[in-house]
Amino acid sequence: MSKKPRHLIKSIYTADPRAHVYEGKLYIFPSHDIESGVPQDDLGSHFDMKDYHVYSMEDPDGQVVDHGVALDIKNVPWAVKQMWSNDVACKDGKYYMYFPAKDEKGIFHIGVAVADKAEGPYKPMPEPMKGSFSIDISTFQEDDGTHYAYWGGIWGGQLQRYKTGKYEDNDDMRKPEEPAICAKVAKLSDDMLEFGEEPRDVVILDAYGEPLKTEDENRRFFEAPWMHKFNGKYYFSYSTGNTHLLCYAEGDNPYGPFTYKGVIMTPVVGWTTHHSIVEYKGKWYLFHHDSKVSGGKTWLRSMKVIDLNIREDGTIETVDGNADE
Protein backbone atom coordinates (compact mmCIF):
# COMPACT_ATOMS: atom_id res chain seq x y z
CA MET A 1 0.00 0.00 0.00
CA SER A 2 1.21 3.51 -0.78
CA LYS A 3 1.49 6.38 1.65
CA LYS A 4 -1.83 7.70 0.35
CA PRO A 5 -4.89 7.08 2.54
CA ARG A 6 -7.82 4.97 1.45
CA HIS A 7 -11.47 5.43 2.38
CA LEU A 8 -12.72 1.96 3.27
CA ILE A 9 -16.52 2.32 3.15
CA LYS A 10 -18.69 4.84 1.30
CA SER A 11 -22.07 3.07 1.42
CA ILE A 12 -22.70 4.30 4.97
CA TYR A 13 -20.84 6.69 7.27
CA THR A 14 -18.39 5.09 9.69
CA ALA A 15 -16.05 6.71 12.21
CA ASP A 16 -13.72 6.04 15.15
CA PRO A 17 -12.26 2.81 13.69
CA ARG A 18 -10.72 0.40 16.20
CA ALA A 19 -8.74 -2.30 14.37
CA HIS A 20 -7.44 -5.65 15.63
CA VAL A 21 -6.08 -8.83 14.08
CA TYR A 22 -8.39 -11.75 14.87
CA GLU A 23 -8.40 -15.14 13.16
CA GLY A 24 -5.64 -13.96 10.83
CA LYS A 25 -7.71 -11.06 9.45
CA LEU A 26 -8.07 -7.38 10.16
CA TYR A 27 -11.33 -6.63 11.93
CA ILE A 28 -12.49 -3.02 12.21
CA PHE A 29 -15.01 -1.88 14.80
CA PRO A 30 -16.24 1.64 13.95
CA SER A 31 -19.14 3.75 15.09
CA HIS A 32 -21.98 4.35 12.61
CA ASP A 33 -22.76 7.98 11.80
CA ILE A 34 -26.30 8.92 10.76
CA GLU A 35 -28.31 12.05 10.02
CA SER A 36 -30.02 12.24 13.40
CA GLY A 37 -31.70 15.62 13.01
CA VAL A 38 -30.30 16.67 16.39
CA PRO A 39 -28.95 20.26 16.38
CA GLN A 40 -25.17 20.57 16.45
CA ASP A 41 -23.53 21.70 19.71
CA ASP A 42 -20.20 21.58 21.55
CA LEU A 43 -21.30 18.50 23.55
CA GLY A 44 -21.70 16.37 20.41
CA SER A 45 -25.46 15.88 20.77
CA HIS A 46 -25.73 15.58 16.96
CA PHE A 47 -23.63 12.39 17.10
CA ASP A 48 -26.68 10.27 17.95
CA MET A 49 -25.55 6.87 16.67
CA LYS A 50 -27.76 3.84 17.23
CA ASP A 51 -25.90 0.69 16.13
CA TYR A 52 -22.55 -0.85 15.19
CA HIS A 53 -21.40 -2.60 12.04
CA VAL A 54 -18.31 -4.84 11.97
CA TYR A 55 -15.92 -4.97 9.00
CA SER A 56 -13.10 -7.32 8.03
CA MET A 57 -10.37 -7.42 5.41
CA GLU A 58 -7.55 -9.77 4.52
CA ASP A 59 -5.53 -7.09 2.73
CA PRO A 60 -5.49 -3.34 3.47
CA ASP A 61 -5.59 -2.82 -0.30
CA GLY A 62 -8.34 -5.39 -0.85
CA GLN A 63 -12.02 -5.98 -0.35
CA VAL A 64 -13.73 -4.75 2.80
CA VAL A 65 -16.49 -7.05 4.06
CA ASP A 66 -19.46 -5.49 5.87
CA HIS A 67 -20.81 -8.08 8.30
CA GLY A 68 -23.89 -6.00 9.00
CA VAL A 69 -25.34 -4.79 12.28
CA ALA A 70 -23.57 -6.43 15.22
CA LEU A 71 -25.39 -4.59 18.01
CA ASP A 72 -28.40 -2.23 18.05
CA ILE A 73 -29.30 0.18 20.85
CA LYS A 74 -32.87 -1.15 20.91
CA ASN A 75 -31.46 -4.40 22.31
CA VAL A 76 -29.50 -2.73 25.13
CA PRO A 77 -31.86 -2.48 28.15
CA TRP A 78 -30.10 0.40 29.91
CA ALA A 79 -29.04 2.51 26.92
CA VAL A 80 -31.14 5.41 25.63
CA LYS A 81 -29.00 7.18 23.02
CA GLN A 82 -25.56 7.99 21.61
CA MET A 83 -23.72 4.72 21.10
CA TRP A 84 -20.33 6.27 20.42
CA SER A 85 -16.92 4.69 19.76
CA ASN A 86 -16.63 0.99 20.66
CA ASP A 87 -13.91 -1.66 20.72
CA VAL A 88 -13.72 -5.46 20.88
CA ALA A 89 -11.39 -7.78 22.80
CA CYS A 90 -11.00 -11.54 22.41
CA LYS A 91 -10.40 -14.08 25.18
CA ASP A 92 -10.74 -17.89 25.11
CA GLY A 93 -12.66 -17.83 21.84
CA LYS A 94 -15.23 -15.27 23.02
CA TYR A 95 -15.48 -11.69 21.80
CA TYR A 96 -16.36 -8.80 24.07
CA MET A 97 -17.63 -5.50 22.69
CA TYR A 98 -17.25 -2.46 24.95
CA PHE A 99 -19.36 0.56 24.10
CA PRO A 100 -20.51 3.85 25.66
CA ALA A 101 -24.09 5.08 25.70
CA LYS A 102 -26.21 7.47 27.71
CA ASP A 103 -28.74 6.21 30.23
CA GLU A 104 -32.15 7.72 30.96
CA LYS A 105 -30.48 10.47 33.00
CA GLY A 106 -28.21 11.49 30.13
CA ILE A 107 -25.09 10.09 31.79
CA PHE A 108 -22.57 8.05 29.81
CA HIS A 109 -21.71 4.55 30.99
CA ILE A 110 -19.88 1.69 29.30
CA GLY A 111 -21.64 -1.52 28.37
CA VAL A 112 -20.40 -4.97 27.39
CA ALA A 113 -21.83 -7.34 24.80
CA VAL A 114 -20.60 -10.87 24.06
CA ALA A 115 -20.37 -12.92 20.86
CA ASP A 116 -18.95 -16.19 19.59
CA LYS A 117 -17.51 -14.53 16.47
CA ALA A 118 -15.72 -11.24 15.92
CA GLU A 119 -18.42 -10.10 13.53
CA GLY A 120 -21.17 -10.84 16.04
CA PRO A 121 -24.06 -10.70 16.62
CA TYR A 122 -23.34 -9.43 20.14
CA LYS A 123 -25.60 -10.03 23.14
CA PRO A 124 -25.47 -7.13 25.62
CA MET A 125 -25.33 -7.49 29.37
CA PRO A 126 -28.47 -6.10 31.07
CA GLU A 127 -26.54 -3.44 33.00
CA PRO A 128 -23.46 -1.31 32.23
CA MET A 129 -20.10 -2.09 33.81
CA LYS A 130 -20.04 -1.21 37.51
CA GLY A 131 -18.40 2.15 38.09
CA SER A 132 -18.08 2.90 34.38
CA PHE A 133 -18.24 6.40 32.97
CA SER A 134 -17.33 8.60 29.99
CA ILE A 135 -16.59 7.38 26.45
CA ASP A 136 -14.11 6.10 23.85
CA ILE A 137 -13.13 2.81 25.44
CA SER A 138 -10.36 0.81 23.77
CA THR A 139 -8.69 -2.46 24.73
CA PHE A 140 -5.09 -3.66 24.84
CA GLN A 141 -3.88 -7.23 25.34
CA GLU A 142 -0.51 -7.59 27.05
CA ASP A 143 1.90 -10.36 26.05
CA ASP A 144 0.87 -12.41 29.11
CA GLY A 145 -2.78 -12.31 28.05
CA THR A 146 -3.88 -9.62 30.50
CA HIS A 147 -6.44 -7.23 29.03
CA TYR A 148 -6.50 -3.52 29.81
CA ALA A 149 -9.14 -0.89 29.07
CA TYR A 150 -8.38 2.74 28.27
CA TRP A 151 -11.15 5.29 28.05
CA GLY A 152 -12.29 8.88 28.46
CA GLY A 153 -13.27 12.03 26.62
CA ILE A 154 -13.80 15.57 27.86
CA TRP A 155 -16.55 18.05 26.93
CA GLY A 156 -19.37 15.88 25.53
CA GLY A 157 -17.66 12.77 26.85
CA GLN A 158 -18.27 13.99 30.42
CA LEU A 159 -14.81 13.07 31.78
CA GLN A 160 -14.57 16.53 33.34
CA ARG A 161 -17.53 15.66 35.58
CA TYR A 162 -15.30 13.20 37.49
CA LYS A 163 -12.59 15.66 38.58
CA THR A 164 -13.09 14.65 42.22
CA GLY A 165 -13.29 10.92 41.47
CA LYS A 166 -17.08 10.79 41.52
CA TYR A 167 -19.81 12.16 39.27
CA GLU A 168 -20.72 15.83 39.59
CA ASP A 169 -23.04 17.69 37.22
CA ASN A 170 -20.30 20.24 36.60
CA ASP A 171 -18.66 20.71 33.22
CA ASP A 172 -16.03 23.19 34.37
CA MET A 173 -12.50 22.30 33.31
CA ARG A 174 -9.46 22.53 35.55
CA LYS A 175 -7.66 25.86 35.64
CA PRO A 176 -5.26 26.51 32.73
CA GLU A 177 -2.15 26.16 34.92
CA GLU A 178 -3.36 22.95 36.60
CA PRO A 179 -2.50 19.43 35.39
CA ALA A 180 -4.76 18.36 32.52
CA ILE A 181 -7.59 15.90 33.02
CA CYS A 182 -6.31 12.41 32.25
CA ALA A 183 -7.67 9.41 30.38
CA LYS A 184 -8.33 6.34 32.54
CA VAL A 185 -6.87 2.82 32.55
CA ALA A 186 -7.81 -0.37 34.36
CA LYS A 187 -7.24 -4.08 34.00
CA LEU A 188 -10.32 -5.98 32.97
CA SER A 189 -11.70 -8.72 35.20
CA ASP A 190 -11.03 -12.38 34.42
CA ASP A 191 -14.53 -12.76 32.97
CA MET A 192 -14.01 -9.58 30.87
CA LEU A 193 -17.33 -8.14 32.07
CA GLU A 194 -16.12 -5.59 34.64
CA PHE A 195 -13.12 -3.52 35.62
CA GLY A 196 -10.76 -5.73 37.58
CA GLU A 197 -9.40 -2.85 39.66
CA GLU A 198 -9.96 0.81 40.45
CA PRO A 199 -9.32 3.04 37.43
CA ARG A 200 -6.05 4.97 37.35
CA ASP A 201 -5.05 8.20 35.61
CA VAL A 202 -3.05 7.94 32.40
CA VAL A 203 -0.55 10.71 33.15
CA ILE A 204 1.28 12.36 30.24
CA LEU A 205 4.51 14.14 31.10
CA ASP A 206 6.53 16.75 29.26
CA ALA A 207 10.26 16.38 28.56
CA TYR A 208 11.03 17.67 32.08
CA GLY A 209 8.86 15.06 33.82
CA GLU A 210 6.01 17.45 34.61
CA PRO A 211 2.36 16.56 33.86
CA LEU A 212 0.93 18.37 30.85
CA LYS A 213 -1.22 21.36 31.81
CA THR A 214 -4.83 22.11 30.90
CA GLU A 215 -3.70 25.08 28.81
CA ASP A 216 -1.41 22.88 26.68
CA GLU A 217 -4.13 22.14 24.13
CA ASN A 218 -1.70 21.01 21.43
CA ARG A 219 -0.44 18.12 23.59
CA ARG A 220 -2.87 17.30 26.41
CA PHE A 221 -5.39 14.46 26.21
CA PHE A 222 -8.92 15.17 25.00
CA GLU A 223 -10.39 11.84 23.75
CA ALA A 224 -9.79 8.68 21.66
CA PRO A 225 -7.17 6.81 23.77
CA TRP A 226 -5.33 3.90 22.17
CA MET A 227 -2.44 1.67 23.24
CA HIS A 228 0.04 -0.29 21.14
CA LYS A 229 3.41 -1.82 21.90
CA PHE A 230 6.63 -1.58 19.87
CA ASN A 231 10.06 -3.00 20.79
CA GLY A 232 9.09 -3.40 24.43
CA LYS A 233 7.79 0.17 24.79
CA TYR A 234 4.19 1.22 25.36
CA TYR A 235 2.70 3.88 23.12
CA PHE A 236 -0.33 5.80 24.35
CA SER A 237 -1.94 7.76 21.50
CA TYR A 238 -4.91 10.08 21.62
CA SER A 239 -6.71 13.08 20.14
CA THR A 240 -6.20 16.64 21.36
CA GLY A 241 -9.81 17.44 20.41
CA ASN A 242 -10.25 21.15 19.76
CA THR A 243 -6.74 21.43 18.25
CA HIS A 244 -7.46 18.39 16.03
CA LEU A 245 -4.17 16.52 16.39
CA LEU A 246 -3.38 12.86 16.97
CA CYS A 247 -0.46 12.67 19.39
CA TYR A 248 1.53 9.96 21.17
CA ALA A 249 3.46 9.45 24.37
CA GLU A 250 5.82 6.63 25.39
CA GLY A 251 6.11 4.64 28.61
CA ASP A 252 7.61 1.52 30.16
CA ASN A 253 4.40 -0.22 31.26
CA PRO A 254 0.66 -0.18 30.45
CA TYR A 255 -0.13 2.26 33.27
CA GLY A 256 2.48 4.87 32.49
CA PRO A 257 3.38 7.58 33.15
CA PHE A 258 3.95 8.37 29.50
CA THR A 259 6.29 11.00 28.11
CA TYR A 260 4.96 13.10 25.24
CA LYS A 261 6.80 12.40 21.98
CA GLY A 262 5.02 14.04 19.06
CA VAL A 263 2.24 14.27 16.49
CA ILE A 264 1.05 11.17 14.64
CA MET A 265 -1.37 12.95 12.31
CA THR A 266 -2.18 16.56 11.46
CA PRO A 267 -5.83 17.74 11.31
CA VAL A 268 -8.29 16.04 8.99
CA VAL A 269 -11.37 17.50 7.27
CA GLY A 270 -13.98 17.52 10.03
CA TRP A 271 -13.88 18.48 13.72
CA THR A 272 -13.08 15.10 15.28
CA THR A 273 -10.07 12.86 14.87
CA HIS A 274 -10.04 9.30 16.20
CA HIS A 275 -7.88 6.32 15.33
CA SER A 276 -6.26 2.97 16.01
CA ILE A 277 -2.79 1.62 15.25
CA VAL A 278 -2.23 -2.04 14.39
CA GLU A 279 0.51 -4.29 13.01
CA TYR A 280 -0.58 -6.71 10.30
CA LYS A 281 1.67 -9.03 8.31
CA GLY A 282 4.78 -7.17 9.38
CA LYS A 283 3.54 -3.65 8.56
CA TRP A 284 1.96 -0.93 10.70
CA TYR A 285 -1.27 0.81 9.78
CA LEU A 286 -3.14 3.85 11.02
CA PHE A 287 -6.92 3.61 10.87
CA HIS A 288 -8.68 6.97 11.19
CA HIS A 289 -11.55 8.99 9.67
CA ASP A 290 -12.42 12.27 8.02
CA SER A 291 -15.48 14.06 6.60
CA LYS A 292 -14.39 14.38 2.97
CA VAL A 293 -16.98 11.92 1.62
CA SER A 294 -19.85 13.88 3.18
CA GLY A 295 -18.52 17.19 1.91
CA GLY A 296 -17.21 18.29 5.29
CA LYS A 297 -20.17 17.46 7.53
CA THR A 298 -18.42 16.84 10.83
CA TRP A 299 -21.07 14.39 12.04
CA LEU A 300 -20.93 12.23 8.88
CA ARG A 301 -17.48 10.69 8.78
CA SER A 302 -15.82 7.93 6.78
CA MET A 303 -13.10 5.59 8.04
CA LYS A 304 -9.73 5.36 6.30
CA VAL A 305 -6.43 3.49 6.45
CA ILE A 306 -2.87 4.52 5.65
CA ASP A 307 0.61 3.08 6.17
CA LEU A 308 2.28 4.16 9.39
CA ASN A 309 6.06 4.41 9.62
CA ILE A 310 7.42 3.58 13.07
CA ARG A 311 11.15 4.17 12.80
CA GLU A 312 13.77 1.89 14.33
CA ASP A 313 14.32 4.37 17.15
CA GLY A 314 10.62 4.18 18.03
CA THR A 315 9.61 7.61 16.75
CA ILE A 316 6.55 7.82 14.52
CA GLU A 317 6.58 9.67 11.20
CA THR A 318 3.83 12.29 11.10
CA VAL A 319 0.98 11.59 8.68
CA ASP A 320 -0.65 14.40 6.68
CA GLY A 321 -4.28 14.23 7.77
CA ASN A 322 -5.43 16.06 4.66
CA ALA A 323 -3.55 13.99 2.09
CA ASP A 324 -5.43 13.06 -1.08
CA GLU A 325 -6.26 9.46 -1.91
Residues involved in catalysis: 16, 223
Q: Determine contact, residues 234/262, Cβ cutoff 8 Å.
A: no
What's the DSSP call for residue 75?
Answer: G
CA separation for the pair 216, 41 (Å, rounded): 23
Q: Is 80 helix (H, G, I), strand (E, B) or coil?
A: coil
Q: Determine contact, residues 18/87, Cβ cutoff 8 Å.
A: yes
Among the listed residues 161, 145, 230, 238, the one whose alpha carbon sits nearest the alpha carbon of residue 196: 145
Provide the edge-to-edge strand list for the sheet that holds 283-290: 6-7, 302-307, 283-290, 276-280
Q: Determine contact, residues 50/72, Cβ cutoff 8 Å.
A: yes
Which residues partner with 16 through β-bridges? none
